[in-house]
Amino acid sequence: MQSPTTSSMDPITSVQAAIEVVQRIMKQHEGSFLQFRCDEKGFLSICAFGLPGKAHEDDPSRGIRAAIDIVNSLEKIQEVGLPSLFSK
C-alpha cells in the first residue's frame, strides 16, 4: 500500500498524526504533554519535564532527547504527506 500524500490527507488527519507523535515520544521519555495549539502559522505543543510525580535527575537531557526525537519523527511524517506542519 502506498503512503498517503498531502492531497489525500485532510487537515484533521494531519494534526492528529502530529499529536500522536508528540504523545508517544513524551511518554517514552516520561515527560508531560500539556497543551496543543494549531493555527494558520503551524503546530505548537507545550511539553514539560520534572513535574511533581514525574521528576528525574536527568530531566534536562530527557527534554533535549525528546525534542530531537519529535523533530525527527515529524520530519518522517512530512516525507509521507504532512508538509503543512513545517515552515522551512
Half-sphere exposure for 82 (CA within 13 Å, toward CB):
21
Higher pLDDT, 77 or 56: 56
Rounded to the nearest 10 degrees, the angle between the axes of helix 59-79 and helix 11-28 is: 150
User: How high is the pLDDT of residue 1?
Assistant: 44
Please count the other Cβ atoms lying within 10 Å of the Cβ belonging to residue 81. Answer: 17
User: How high is the pLDDT of residue 81?
Assistant: 56
User: How high is the pLDDT of residue 8?
Assistant: 53
pLDDT exceeds cutoff 50 at 3: no
Which tens digit of pLDDT belongs to each residue from 52-62? 999 999 999 99
- pTM summary value: 0.76
The rounded distance, in Å, linking the Cα atoms of 84 and 74 is 11
Question: Measuring CA to CA, which residue among 88, 70, 85 is closest to residue 24?
Answer: 70
